[in-house]
């Protein structure tokens, strides 16, 4: 026992686990050019963690900026904020307390649960058990391996058919720290399987279409958020010559790549990568969608936080050819979502609704020809941000189901 404890401490020390004791999350409201400059300086010179937007490249006057400030820099940051007269509020007083408070769902500790944030190993076991328990509705497809050689498994949901079926593709967990996202993909699969045969819309959807679900896109990053650093966002790829790890998968798609709202600095959280699809996870998904381009009618990608339903474009300000239709469907989805618990979402094109960001998966899929291409930013609006308590998994997933089902119903109705 004593020996085990010692090994435990040694392992913890070697793992170099990040802690966030005393760190605070601020919401800054830059209203002057000098405020924008100050935020860029903060990101460059001290180790602040941009929560929204993902990097200071995207900061402009009149957008709210959420940043985590490590405890040791609080004095200097408070001084700078006061001196520059920048409006600000504190969203999270103690980040480590919020990290520890996330697991508020109670119940027995480790085992897969739809109302907990599952580890990758639990998700992997769940992928295997749910597919073997539902052989007539689920099949597994490995679309490639991650940088660290973990298999990327897509669950194909749908009733077998003699003719080729049109499909919807949905991924979760592009960004490692957005834990509510993989929780939603797991919830979606469970709901689809358990309501097939009783819910008429789900039955008809899975009879007529297939839904491809990638429960965790950025598996290596997701594992890292459980083992080392809860705030990790990017992939975990290494490149000789750089000491910085990973690229932002949602800046690495071949859509206006690295032109706007992305960074060419390998150390940035919005690093676009060394070239489009340099990240193997991005290449695997892009290859899969290209291979199945003729059947994929909708692309959905799930992120957090901000409560937004976004569609192309983010790499430019110009409107998509299908703007009006995409907006109408988004607004219908948002009102379906709101009908359950009153949660309000804003719909619109990425560039003007959140911020310009090139290299995103939604823009890439849309330009490839997948018309109904949407990015969800789930709960909340900043009270907990990425650290959404487990007690909110169920209501978040229930309301998001309504939005996804609204989009799916529309896509299905307009197939032929
Ligand atoms: O990748 C981002 O910064 C957010 C999700 Se965290 C989405 C940005 C808009 C959609 C990108 N095409
Ligand atoms: Zn994200
Ligand atoms: Zn987000």
250 lines ligand 1 (CB under 6 A): yes
Domain boundary at 102, 134, 160, which?
102
CA distances from 120 to 150, 227, 243, 327, 365 (A): 10, 11, 26, 35, 26
Q: Are residues 51 and 129 in the same domain?
A: no
pLDDT at 62: 80
Number of domains the chain is built from: 2
Mean pLDDT (10-residue bins), the chain, 416 residues: 54 72 97 95 91 91 94 95 94 97 78 96 98 98 98 98 97 98 98 98 98 99 98 97 96 98 96 98 99 98 98 98 98 98 98 96 98 98 98 98 98 96
Token code pair at residue 156: 């194909």
Give the residues across from 65 on adjacent strands: 28
Atom of ligand 1 nearest to the CA of 350: 9
| Residue 2 lies inside a defined structural domain of this protein | no
Q: Are residues 196 and 283 in the same domain?
A: yes
| Residue 1 lies inside a defined structural domain of this protein | no
| Residue 112 lies inside a defined structural domain of this protein | no
Q: Are residues 261 and 398 in the same domain?
A: yes
* Cβ-Cβ contacts under 8 Å for 12 (sequence gap 6 or more): none
Q: Are residues 146 and 250 in the same domain?
A: yes
Q: Are residues 80 and 151 in the same domain?
A: no
pLDDT at 104: 86
Q: Is 383 helix (H, G, I), strand (E, B) or coil?
A: coil
pLDDT at 105: 83
- Give residue 305 CA to ligand 3 midpoint distance, Å: 5
Cβ(181)–Cβ(397) under 8 Å? Answer: no
360 lines ligand 1 (CB under 6 A): yes
- Give residue 385 CA to ligand 3 midpoint distance, Å: 9
381 lines ligand 1 (CB under 6 A): no
Among protein residues, the one with the nearest Cα to ligand 1's atom 4 is 303
| Residue 107 lies inside a defined structural domain of this protein | no
Among protein residues, the one with the nearest Cα to ligand 1's atom 10 is 350
| Residue 4 lies inside a defined structural domain of this protein | no
If one residue of 303, 352, 376 were mutated to test the ligand 1 pocket, choosing by the most ligand atoms within 8 A of its CB, it would be 303
Distance CA 164, CA 156 (A): 13
Q: Check 178, 191, 377, 390 and give the catalytic one.
A: 377
pTM across the whole model: 0.95
Per the prediction, the chain carries an average pLDDT of: 95
Structural domain containing residue 273: 120-413
Q: Are residues 56 and 196 in the same domain?
A: no
Q: Are residues 85 and 159 in the same domain?
A: no
CATH of residue 78's domain is 3.30.70.340
Q: Write out the residues surrounding ion ligand 3, Cβ under 5 A.
A: 303, 377
- The answer to whether residue 377 is catalytic is yes
Q: Are residues 86 and 183 in the same domain?
A: no
Token code pair at residue 354: 């959140």
Produce one character per residue of 82-121: b if its CB has 16 or more CB atoms within 10 Å, e if not: eebebebeebbebbbebbeebeeeeeeeeebbeebbbbbe
| Residue 114 lies inside a defined structural domain of this protein | no
Residue 22 DSSP one-character state = T
Distance CA 245, CA 363 (A): 25
Q: Are residues 95 and 179 in the same domain?
A: no
């Amino acid at each position: 026992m004593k020996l085990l404890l010692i090994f435990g401490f040694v392992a913890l020390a070697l793992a170099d686990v990040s802690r966030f004791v005393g760190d605070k999350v601020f919401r800054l409201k830059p209203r002057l050019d000098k405020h924008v400059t100050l935020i860029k300086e903060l990101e460059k010179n001290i180790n602040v963690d941009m929560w929204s937007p993902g990097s200071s490249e995207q900061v402009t006057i009149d957008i709210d900026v959420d940043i985590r400030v490590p405890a040791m820099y609080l004095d200097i940051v408070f001084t700078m904020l006061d001196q520059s007269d920048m409006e600000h509020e504190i969203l999270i007083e103690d980040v480590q307390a919020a990290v520890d408070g996330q697991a508020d769902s109670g119940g027995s500790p480790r085992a897969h649960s739809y109302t907990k944030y599952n580890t990758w190993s639990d998700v992997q076991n769940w992928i295997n058990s749910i597919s073997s328990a539902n052989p007539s509705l689920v099949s597994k497809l490995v679309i490639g391996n991650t940088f660290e050689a973990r298999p990327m498994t897509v669950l194909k949901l749908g009733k077998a058919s003699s003719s080729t079926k049109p499909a919807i593709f949905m991924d979760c967990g592009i960004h490692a720290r957005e834990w509510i996202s993989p929780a939603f993909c797991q919830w979606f699969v469970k709901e689809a399987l358990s309501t097939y045969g009783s819910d008429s819309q789900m039955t008809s959807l899975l009879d007529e279409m297939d839904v491809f679900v990638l429960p965790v896109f950025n598996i290596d990053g997701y594992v890292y958020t459980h083992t080392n650093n809860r705030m990790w966002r990017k992939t975990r790829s290494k490149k000789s010559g750089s000491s910085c790890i990973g690229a932002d998968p949602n800046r690495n798609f071949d859509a206006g790549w690295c032109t706007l709202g992305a960074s060419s600095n390998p150390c940035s959280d919005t690093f676009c990568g060394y070239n489009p699809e340099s990240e193997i996870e991005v290449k695997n998904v892009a290859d899969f969608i290209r291979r199945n381009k003729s059947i994929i009618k909708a692309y959905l990608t799930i992120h957090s936080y901000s409560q937004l339903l976004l569609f192309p474009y983010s790499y430019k300000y110009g409107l998509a050819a299908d703007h009006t239709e995409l907006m109408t469907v988004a607004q219908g989805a948002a009102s379906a979502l709101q009908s359950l618990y009153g949660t309000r979402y804003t719909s619109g094109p990425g560039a003007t609704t959140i911020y310009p960001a090139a290299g995103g998966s939604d823009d890439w899929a849309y330009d490839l020809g997948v018309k109904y291409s949407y990015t969800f930013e789930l709960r909340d609006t900043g009270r907990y941000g990425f650290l959404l308590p487990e007690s909110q998994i169920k209501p978040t997933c229930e309301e998001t189901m309504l939005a996804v089902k609204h989009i799916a119903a529309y896509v299905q109705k307009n197939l032929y």
